Amino acid sequence: MDLFEERIVQECKKGKKDAFNVLIKNYADRVYNIVIPMIQNKEDAKDISQEVFIKIYKNIHTFQGNSSIGTWIYSIALNTSRDYLRKKKTLRESPLNENDADISSDPQTIMEKTEMGLLLSEAMDRLQDPEKEIIVLKDIMGFSYEEIGNILEINLGTVKSRLSRARCALREGLKTNKEVI
């Protein structure tokens, strides 16, 4: 963790709202961009992103600095998304809302603007949550293997093998989509 982040975290732990606002400003887009491909509903993704920052605010005192603040925040974002998906699955709601407003800075919207993007989006929908998570972290967000290992709390070999399996599943999904067309 660099000195700036360390200072911001310390100020947040003291309850300084200005410091927390800096934290939000630095991580809001990245949190949303992790949440949206998993949730696939822009309004829900916004709500979940807000929930992530509420959890951070309430639990910043538990952050011990063993990893970067970003890694800690991304872990909270993934766990909050997982919780949402579990609840939604229990309620048997539809995971995709076709009436979402267009937000051009969101990776999901950008992906869907092309035919290949539509095929990719459909293939991503069929992936299991762990496969989807690792594809999002590596191929959409661009995290290193080490960062992904820290976020998901798994070792480097597991990151690589999960990513390989997820990419194979995604390739198979794309082949299936092409055959249907």
What pLDDT does 74 receive?
Answer: 94
Pair (90, 118) in one structural domain: no
Helix (H) or strand (E) holding 110, with range, is helix 107-112
What pLDDT does 70 receive?
Answer: 93
The answer to whether residue 100 is domain-embedded is no
Helix and strand totals (H; E) in the chain: 9, 0
The answer to whether residue 41 is domain-embedded is yes
Cα of 71 vs its chain's centroid, Å: 11
Start-to-end CA distance of the chain, whole Å, equals 48
Pair (142, 162) in one structural domain: yes
Main-chain dihedrals φ then ψ at residue 135, nearest 5 degrees: -65, -45
Residue finishing a domain among 69, 94, 119: 94
Count of structural domains within the chain: 2
CA 148/CA 18 separation, integer angstroms:
29
Pair (76, 135) in one structural domain: no
Pair (84, 142) in one structural domain: no
Residue finishing a domain among 94, 121, 148: 94
What pLDDT does 97 receive?
Answer: 43
List Cβ neighbours of 74 (8 Å cut-off, separation of 6 or more).
30, 31, 34, 137, 143, 151
Pair (164, 78) in one structural domain: no
pTM, two decimal places: 0.70
Residue 42 sits in a domain whose CATH number is 1.10.1740.10
The answer to whether residue 99 is domain-embedded is no
Pair (119, 172) in one structural domain: yes
> Which structural domain range is residue 58 located in?
1-94
Q: Splitting the chain (181 residues) into consecutive groups of 10 residues, what average pLDDT does each group show?
A: 87 94 95 91 94 96 91 94 84 45 53 64 84 90 91 93 93 74 51
Pair (86, 165) in one structural domain: no
Residue finishing a domain among 36, 64, 94: 94
Residue 115 sits in a domain whose CATH number is 1.10.10.10
Q: Cα Rg for the chain, rounded, in angstroms?
A: 17
Pair (131, 89) in one structural domain: no
What pLDDT does 39 receive?
Answer: 86
What pLDDT does 7 receive?
Answer: 93
